[in-house]
Amino acid sequence: MITGYNVAIDFESLGYDLTALTEVTVSRGKLPLTEKEIANLPGVCAVYDVTGDYDAMIVAKFRSRKDLSSFAKGLLAMPFVERASTHVVLTTVKEDFRLPL
C-alpha cells in the first residue's frame, strides 16, 4: 500500500550537519503523550517505541551543536521524561528507508 511519495534529501547540503540518536525513558503511562510531543519538536525525523532499557528512540538532525544542546536540554525538561541518552553520529554509512518491493 502506498501512503505517499517522498524525495531523497541531502541534509548536509541543507546545513544539517549533525545527526543524533536519543534514547528516552518516560514515566509509566505517559509514553504515547510524550512521544507525540517529541515528534513535533524541530529536527525530529523519527520516534520509535523500542524494547530494552529505554522506552523510545529518537532520530533527529541539527544544524549546530547549539541546536542539539537545546534539543537535549529541552527533552530533559519535559515533565514525563525521566532519562535521556543522546549519541552523536560520527559517520553515516547508510541512510535509506526505501525497501525493494
Asked if pLDDT for residue 33 goes beyond 80, the answer is: yes
The CATH number of the structural domain formed by 22-85 is: 3.30.70.920
Extended strands (E) in 1-101: 18-26, 44-49, 56-62, 81-88
Pairing of strands 56-62, 44-49: antiparallel
Residue 22 has pLDDT above 90, yes or no: yes
Per-residue pLDDT tens digits for 63-82: 999 999 999 999 999 999 99
**Exposed / middle / buried, residue 37 (Cβ in 10 Å: 0-12, 13-18, 19+):** middle
CA angle 28, 40, 99 (to 5 degrees): 95
What is the rounded average pLDDT for all residues in the chain?
93
How buried is 22 (Cβ within 10 angstroms: 0-12 exposed, 13-18 middle, 19+ buried)?
A: buried
- Asked if residue 30 has pLDDT above 90, the reply is yes
Q: Report the pLDDT value the prediction gives residue 6, as an integer from 0 to 100.
A: 76
